[in-house]
Amino acid sequence: MQQKAHKLFATIVDARFPKPACSACDLRDLWCLPSGLKGQQSKQLDNIINRRKRIKRGEYLYRSGDPFRSLFALRTGFFKTLLSSESGQEHVTGFYMTGELLGLDAICDDIHSCNAIALEDSEICEIPYTALEGLCREIPELQHQFHKIMSREIARDHNLMALLSSMNADERIAVFLINLSQRFEVRGYSPVEFQLRMTRGEIGSYLGLKLETVSRTLSKLQDEGIIGVQHKHLTLNDLPRLKQIVGRARAPLCKD
Amino acid sequence: MQQKAHKLFATIVDARFPKPACSACDLRDLWCLPSGLKGQQSKQLDNIINRRKRIKRGEYLYRSGDPFRSLFALRTGFFKTLLSSESGQEHVTGFYMTGELLGLDAICDDIHSCNAIALEDSEICEIPYTALEGLCREIPELQHQFHKIMSREIARDHNLMALLSSMNADERIAVFLINLSQRFEVRGYSPVEFQLRMTRGEIGSYLGLKLETVSRTLSKLQDEGIIGVQHKHLTLNDLPRLKQIVGRARAPLCKD
DNA sequence: CGAGTACTTGAACAGTGTCAAGCTTAGTGG
DNA sequence: CCACTAAGCTTGACACTGTTCAAGTACTCG
């Protein structure tokens, strides 16, 4: 059962310690749940959160139809969420990075409505939902933070919908890259040089484009010197011009 | 100040009584907040809810940039929400009917990020947000119902995003009409004959189509005998065939 | 090292968008 | 109550963006 530790986890605490500690977690300043909690409060949160779980690349965190019991905070790694139709077609509804919360769309029916799949080896904190509701009743700051996170997901989706219905391919790709760049920057990574974790097809599904169009658009932006693409390795050489492409679009900017 | 009562409000309690009563409201069985609460509990909710407010057609309930203080439950009427970009372009992000909750996307920043505009003379219940959070801490059922409503908004947006990125014009219009039909039916109206409250342009903005395409598609569906359109008056003559149009699409069905 | 997956690029095509003109309806004021 | 006006709607012709189909290349991972 004991598997050879993956390089990615070298800096992570030993998984044999059953509890992670929100109070000590360096994600607190992101949009994760403990953000804004005082010492004692985040220890209470520690108590309800289950041990970290590792999910390997390609594995499912949950599937559409699974009963809903917990939310999941992404500790390290990268996920996509996927809606599937009866006809087998799939649609990517989101990409999730460190500190973000998965499973919010399942509360309404007590059933997961989409699939969450790791795009790289990842580590998550499981947050039993009933316990979280209980704790929210005790800690107003936690309650408020939780509501903010849900609200933010709604606002973000509204922006994405505006994007999907009013932008052309160049603009969509530009918004997508800028958004990734900002999210990497917040997390302390370079905003102008990073690895794409998803395929062209997944980007296309998310943005409402075919993979060929994604590929062509990236090539075109590269020809114009705005970005550099080598497979999954991306460099944003001219962020101002990238923003200009979005700027000439008519849709509202995607925040976050 | 006393205005001539509008016909629509003939059956509604006199507005001089400052408090509406969730406990007596016939929207309880919809997805409104008091759904699932017991008698005493919904009286507590009554106490925090401000008097009903009437909003005339074309008026704003709130504007982008307004400070966020309250959520609004739609008592009667019809609203649209609108994102506006700096360049003046606007995008419809949702249509809201009786019993639905407006303003959820504003919690995250304490500022309204979109405009809410009445598409017909409407009546809303104002729910001060801080008081609601307080009450949610006291009444677990209310807390859970509130979370479900937010979660449902997220799930609905994910479905709409899938729709926007993978369906053609026929399919989008079909989904849109079926969705309206279901929402009317739940509210006790005919699911196969109703008035559109929004313009072709607003439908187009919502679905990511130009108004000409909306018009053409409606005409085409009428030529095929699937629907009847006379300006804003709609009849769904052949619901099965309408559903078939969506069925052959690859995207997940839009629930609710 | 080999097989499968992901990616790039080209050419033809289809579906929407754009522009324009004319029509209908609802709302306003005389 | 009617006439007028502005807004909303319909329809046509054409352009253009993105899709589809296809072929070939380059990675990645076991």
Stated as kind and residue range, the H or E segment containing B233 is strand B233-236
What pLDDT, on the 0 to 100 scale, is given for residue B189?
Answer: 93
B227: tokens are: 């629907």
Question: Given a cut of 70, is residue A256 above it in pLDDT?
Answer: no
Chain A closest-CA separation from residue B172 CA (Å): 12
Q: Coil, strand or helix: which one is A42?
A: helix
Please indicate whether residue B95 or residue A21 has the higher confidence score (pLDDT): B95
Q: Which nucleotides of C are covered by protein (CB under 7 A)?
A: 6-11, 15-20, 24-26
Q: The tokens of B65 are what?
A: 């940039």
Interface touch B133/A140, C-beta < 8 Å: yes
Please give the pLDDT value at position B185. 94
* β-pairing verdict for B115-128 and B60-62: antiparallel
Burial class for A107, CB neighbours closer than 10 Å (0-12, 13-18, 19+): buried
Contacts of A138 in chain B (CB under 8 A): 137
pTM for this model (two decimals): 0.86
Name the pairing type of β-strands B60-62 and B70-84: unpaired
Angle at A133 (CA atoms; ends A131, A135), nearest 5 degrees: 70
Phi, psi of A113 (to 5 degrees): -100, -10
Nearest to A157 among B133, B147, B158 (CB): B158
CA dihedral A126, A130, A131, A132 (to 10 degrees): 70
Cα end-to-end distance, chain B, whole Å: 40
pLDDT of residue B224: 94
Residue A97 has pLDDT above 50, yes or no: yes
pLDDT tens sequence across A110-157: 999 999 999 999 999 999 999 999 999 999 999 999 999 999 999 999
pLDDT at res. B50:
79
Q: Which domains does chain A have, with CATH numbers?
A: 20-160 (2.60.120.10), 167-246 (1.10.10.10)
Q: How far is B8 from chain A (nearest CA, A)?
A: 31
Q: How many CB pairs under 8 A join A and B?
A: 160
Other C-beta atoms lying within 10 Å of the C-beta of residue B224: 12
* Residue A253 pLDDT > 60: no
**What b/e readout covers B196-206, taking b as 16+ CB neighbours within 10 angstroms?**
bbbebbbbbbb
Cα–Cα distance for residue pair B199/B205, rounded to 1 Å: 10
Residue B79 CA to residue B98 CA, distance in Å, equals: 9
Name the residue facing A165 among B155, B166, B207 (closest C-beta). Answer: B207
- Please identify every stretch of chain B with a pLDDT value under 70, giving residue numbers as ranges: 1-20, 28-31, 249-256
Task: Return d(Cα A239, Cα A144) in angstroms, integer.
Answer: 35
Q: What's the pLDDT score for residue A25?
A: 81
Q: Which residues contact A220 (CB under 8 A, 6 or more apart)?
A: A170
Q: Which residue is nearest to nucleotide D21 (CA to C1')?
A: A212
**What DSSP assignment string belongs to B54-78?**
EE-TT-EEE-TTPBP-EEEEEEEEE
Q: Which residue has the higher pLDDT, A235 or B253?
A: A235
Does the distance separating the beta carbons of B113 and A151 come in below 8 Å?
A: no
Residue A189 gets which letter from DSSP?
S
**Does the CA dihedral B194-B195-B197-B201 come out positive or negative?**
positive
Window from A72-86, A177-191, A203-217, B24-38 with minimum mean pLDDT: B24-38
Please report residues of B whose CB lies closer than 8 A to that of A65: none
Burial of B65 (C-beta count, 10 Å sphere; 0-12/13-18/19+): exposed
Q: Of B134, B140, B154, which is closest to A150 when you measure between CB atoms?
A: B154
Q: What value does the mean pLDDT take over residues A218-246?
A: 94
| Number of H-type helices and E-type strands within chain A | 7, 9
Beta bridge partners of B71: B127
Q: d(Cα B171, Cα B247) in Å, to the nearest integer?
A: 9
| B183 neighbors B256 (Cβ within 8 angstroms) | yes
Q: How far apart are CA B151 and CA B132, in angstroms?
A: 17
Position A6 pLDDT exceeds 70: no
Task: Round and report the angstrom distance from CA (B195) to C1' (C29).
Answer: 28
CB atoms within 10 A of CB A16: 7
User: From the CA of A69, how many Å to the nearest CA of chain B?
Assistant: 14
Output the pLDDT for position B17.
Answer: 43
What confidence category does residue A8 fall into, taking pLDDT thresholds of 50, 70 and 90? very low
The C-alpha atoms of residue A70 and residue A103 are separated, in whole angstroms, by 8
pLDDT band with cut points at 50, 70 and 90 for residue A22 = confident
Using 50, 70 and 90 to split pLDDT, how confident is the model at A29?
Answer: low
Return positions of chain D under 7 A from a protein CB: 8-13, 17-22, 26-28
Residue-level pLDDT at B29: 66
Decide if A250 contacts B85 (C-beta within 8 A).
yes
Residue nearest to nucleotide D27 (CA to C1'): A231
Q: What is the CA radius of gyration of chain B?
A: 19
d(CA B173, C1' C4) / Å: 40
pLDDT in the model for residue A66: 97
Q: Is B85 in contact with A250 (Cβ distance < 8 A)?
A: yes
Residue A36 CB neighbour total at 10 angstroms: 14
CB atoms A83 and B162 under 8 Å: yes
Is the model's pLDDT at A20 over the cut of 70? Answer: no
pLDDT tens digits for range A37-83: 888 888 888 889 877 899 999 999 999 999 999 999 999 999 999 99
Whole-number Cα distances in Å, B85 to A10, A90, A156, B91, B159: 45, 31, 15, 8, 24
Instruction: Retrieve residue B95's tokens.
Output: 């249509």
Instruction: Give B-chain residues touching A252 at CB under 8 angstroms.
Output: 83-85, 89, 91
Which of residues A86 and A57 earns the better pLDDT score? A57
Checking if the pLDDT of A2 tops 70, the result is no
The secondary structure element, H or E, covering residue B53 is strand B52-55
H or E segment to which residue B130 belongs: helix B129-138
Residue to mutate among A153, A209, A253, with most B CBs inside 10 A, is A153
Check pLDDT > 60 for residue A17.
no
Residue numbers in A near B140 (CB within 8 A): 133-134, 137
Nearest 5°: the CA angle B161, B164, B168 is 155
Task: Give the relative orientation of helices B200-207 and B169-186 as an angle to the nearest 10 degrees.
Answer: 110
Ramachandran category for residue B117: left, alpha or beta (phi over 0 → left; psi -120 to 50 → alpha): beta
Share of chain A above pLDDT 70, in %: 87
Residues facing B229 on adjacent strands: B234
> What chain B residue is nearest to A151 in terms of C-alpha separation?
B105
Task: Give residue A37's pLDDT.
Answer: 85
Once rounded to an integer, what is the mean pLDDT over residues A193-216? Answer: 96
Residues of A in contact with B144 (CB under 8 A): 133
CB contact (8 A) between residue A251 and residue B85 = yes
